[in-house]
Amino acid sequence: MLPARLWSTLLVSVVAALTTSALPAEKRGVLYPEEAVAIELLIRQAGNQTAATSSRLTTTVASSSSTNSGSGTSTRSASSTSTNSNSSTSTKSTSSTSSPNPSSSGVLRTSAQASGGGLPAPPSGSRLTQHTINGKPGTTATVPIFANKNYIGSGSNGASSAWIGLHGRLKNGNQLFSDLYNVVGDQGVAVVPNFYGPSDVQTVQNAQNQGKPNPIWLQPDRNVIWNDDWRYGADAVAGGTSRPLNGESVSSLEILDSLIKNLSNKSRYPNMARITVVGHSAGAALVDIYSHFGPNAPSGIKIRYVEANTPTSYMVDSRRPVGPIDLAKCPNYNNWPYGPGGAKPRYINNAMSSWSFQRTCSRDVVRLSGTKDTYQADSGGDQSCMSWAQGGPDRTNRGQAAWVIDNLRANTKRTDLRYYASYQNITTYQGGVPVQEVPTFRKTFALVYGVAHVAGQMFASDYGRQALLKTTPISYTQTEPAPY
């Protein structure tokens, strides 16, 4: 066993080598902030090494193992295959090789991570990278994201399309990336941010206390932490333990703003033309909110919003597809995030003055609903009276009701509305919906037959692929009563 002093000397020597001959000329003498933090932590750990841990500490130089992207460090996946059944996730490792990012090489890879126990391999086709939030100069806290090889931190990339994927309430961003990547691959840039919470910090701490590897991709020393209301645009509750927020307010919606700003940077992506924000389940609820309150697309960029199996929608007024007796039992049914009432997050309050039904209808919004996304098939998720007021216990019915209400309000005169669930309830109980004519109605809705609450099947369906890959509007007409 080497003395602690020699461990420190060895690590410093490795750093010196990496910042000279081991790196390309343009990177020699440069140590990025996240690399410096990792080295500092390793040296600190080395001072306390025992014989048992000394054998586990290995440092290698590998250009494809860890890259610098955006403002953080990245670890490229060497193995990962995931399967999903409804809301559960299982992961098994398989051998695969990812091509290195040509814009960043020669960065340290170590088996001892800053999290204290190492991180699991990211999903196949991705690397884990740390996203520093644009517009928040007071903090260096980061958001861990999975990104494919086309997401770069320096140089330029010829991609013309990008996809930002949003996971559901289970925070299984690894599965969401796999489901998205299975459809879009490396045709453009694919990124999936992870919104971790206090319970996830406890998961990491428990693993550390038991001497086990970190089971998730959260690094509590650096990553931003949200409560479960991240899915509705709320602000984070904490930064990392060594990278606090320092008074900065960070909404989950601002992470979307920040990623879109990076992807629309023409010096980095000169050909970028289309960005798709896509979510499943709770992630779809956040996409729905963003389609209402997010800023206009950057110049030269078209944005599509894809909502798959959203559990609830933002309803612009008190009209609901249920009777007055049911609504009387649920006094908060029109409060945020189900409607405009009650207290709202900071981001929404700031954006409310720019909101209009006309602007929302002019955006390219695609809603997909699995016909088997029912309470009987999956009783999880939001089953509050506020959600039931949007169409009952079945998510597919709630999605159909939101589509009908939007069309009635915009007076689109679609002849197939009568086939959808809740149409009769809306016209009977509410006496219809006040008409608000709009010059452009670009929203689209499609039923995905035979699919339940499973992101991978939704994305891989015919309409899912159209929503993710087609650059022209999707055409869909219901020709028979919707199954429910």
Report d(CA 194, CA 184) in Å as an integer: 19
- What's the chain's length in residues? 484
In angstroms, the Cα distances linking 452 to 265, 339, 379 are 37, 26, 11
Q: What is the pLDDT along the chain (484 residues), one digit of tens a residue?
A: 444 444 444 444 443 443 333 333 333 333 333 334 344 434 334 444 433 333 333 333 233 333 333 333 444 443 333 334 333 333 333 333 333 333 322 222 222 333 334 899 999 999 999 999 999 999 999 999 999 999 998 888 999 999 999 999 999 999 999 999 999 999 999 999 999 999 999 999 999 999 999 999 999 999 999 999 999 999 999 999 999 999 999 999 999 999 999 999 999 999 999 999 999 999 999 999 999 999 999 999 999 999 999 999 999 999 999 988 889 999 999 999 999 999 999 999 999 999 999 999 999 999 999 999 999 998 888 899 999 999 999 999 999 999 999 999 999 999 899 999 889 889 887 678 999 999 999 999 999 999 999 999 999 999 999 999 999 888 898 888 887 5
Order of strands, edge to edge, in the sheet holding 302-308? 66-69, 72-76, 127-132, 142-147, 189-193, 161-166, 274-280, 302-308, 364-370, 444-448
| Domain ranges within the chain, ordered by starting residue | 4-272, 286-469
The pTM is what?
A: 0.78
